[in-house]
Amino acid sequence: MTRVAVRFAAVPFVMCALTMRDAPATGNSSEPSGEVVRTWNALALDTIRATNGIDAQAARLYAMLNVAIYDAVNGTVSHGSPERDSALVPADGAPRNGHRVAAAAAAAHAVLVGLYPARASIYDAELAADLAALGSGRSVSSGGAWGQRVGAAVLAARASDGSSPGETQEAGAGPGVFRAAWSGVQFRNLLPFAIVDPDVYVSGGPPGLTTLDYAAAFAEVKLLGNAAIPDADKLATFQYWSLGANTDQPPGAWIQVAATVSSSRNLSLPETARLFALLGMAMCDTVAPTYTTKFVFRHWRPATAIREADTDDNPGTIADATWAPRAGGIGGTPEHWSGHSSFSGAASRVLSGFFCDDAISFSLVTDSAPGGQSRTYASFSAAEAEAGRSRVVGGIHFEFSNQAGLAAGHGVAAEVLSNKLLRKHGPTHFGSCPL
């Protein structure tokens, strides 16, 4: 398989994904709000926390859930002949008067029960509550049946998508090589939801060990990420974005951002479902290039690089056998590139592209925020930048791997927004959006 450097020339800019015809619902509108989407996403976040899912498992779940919700809702729009393309499941056979909320809830329920049957009682209770709130009637029952059918179709379509069986890459040895074995490497084969070829985004590799660029990045992380140099702000920033075991993982933080912003903007149910589907697909489609890049290059983490710098043949690096990262651990996967950065790059660009505006302020409390304290960001790109840099000040990534991850995420988002869930006829966008 040929690996090429990240390139994005085929998608010169991202067009606005929110059209005039998709105006948000108002308080007096009969169109249901997107609350059902946020409710089931919250259950998905709780599922990843409770089952200690890794980042790739989280991204896959969020994508499957939101694709099912979107396709279920989309099928009820215009009575089975929706104006927008489906994500995975065609609208053929959608009921003429199916209730959109019932369809969304049933689709989400089917996906979660199918993937996590041990937690079925939790999902069953939420579905029962959602349907009871809608009352009885043919539209509720037909909408629910349609949603269940869509969720089952999503499960079937993704049953052999490369996420299993599990694989492990054995530990490496020598200068520049990641030393530990790491599991989950099968996710390098994860089939995409929305992009054509994941290999387009695979890295050309980190700078060579003997280069000046490598020495410069080495010097930066050696200083900024050094646990022996106290810096409360840098430690708090790393911790805020660390999102390790028993959290909703880095993709989950961006699902929370979407929940906050979609609620404050009072988006209609179809628009909320589309936002979350685009976001879920884009983040999930960064998984294969991220894991492939890690698998192919197996680059060592800063702690190993600094402790063994006398083996890299670079006169610009100086070894420190006692150096330790501010993060407190070396990192469990190869260094190049940063998965936090690729997830954040994809999510930020989907959100700014959808709303045609990067400068949307929001507050967020991540699962790993010190003391549960929120942070407020003036834009999606500001949060993206901090998430990426947190890995450098934590001492577990080089800046070149932060930048490579961000660039790949940006490219994936551009491709997703340019080609998925578009209107079938007439203009699909208006105005150009931030890159």
**Model pTM score:** 0.93
Average pLDDT over residues 126-131: 98
Residue 425's pLDDT is: 80
Asked if the model's pLDDT at residue 16 lies above 70, the reply is no
Q: Which CATH number describes the domain made up of 31-159?
A: 1.20.144.10
Residue-wise pLDDT tens digits, 82-125 = 889 999 999 999 998 899 999 999 999 999 999 999 999 999 99
Residue-wise pLDDT tens digits, 259-315 = 999 999 999 999 999 999 999 999 999 999 999 999 999 999 999 999 999 999 999
More confident residue, 425 or 165: 165
Average pLDDT over residues 33-47: 97
Please report which confidence band the pLDDT of residue 11 belongs to, taking 50, 70 and 90 as the band edges: very low
Residue 432's pLDDT is: 54
Residue-wise pLDDT tens digits, 223-250 = 999 999 999 999 999 999 999 999 999 9
Residue 21's pLDDT is: 40
Asked if the model's pLDDT at residue 433 lies above 90, the reply is no
For the 1-23+168-435 domain, the top CATH level (class) is: mainly alpha
What does the mean pLDDT of the chain come to? 92
Percent of the residues in the chain that have a pLDDT greater than 70, as a whole number: 90
Residue 428's pLDDT is: 60
Average pLDDT over residues 171-198: 98
Residue 77's pLDDT is: 85
Residue ranges per domain, the chain?
A: 1-23+168-435, 31-159
Helix 55-76 × helix 339-355 angle, to 10°: 20
Average pLDDT over residues 14-20: 47
Please report which confidence band the pLDDT of residue 350 belongs to, taking 50, 70 and 90 as the band edges: very high
Please report which confidence band the pLDDT of residue 20 belongs to, taking 50, 70 and 90 as the band edges: very low
Please report which confidence band the pLDDT of residue 9 belongs to, taking 50, 70 and 90 as the band edges: very low
Asked if the model's pLDDT at residue 3 lies above 80, the reply is no
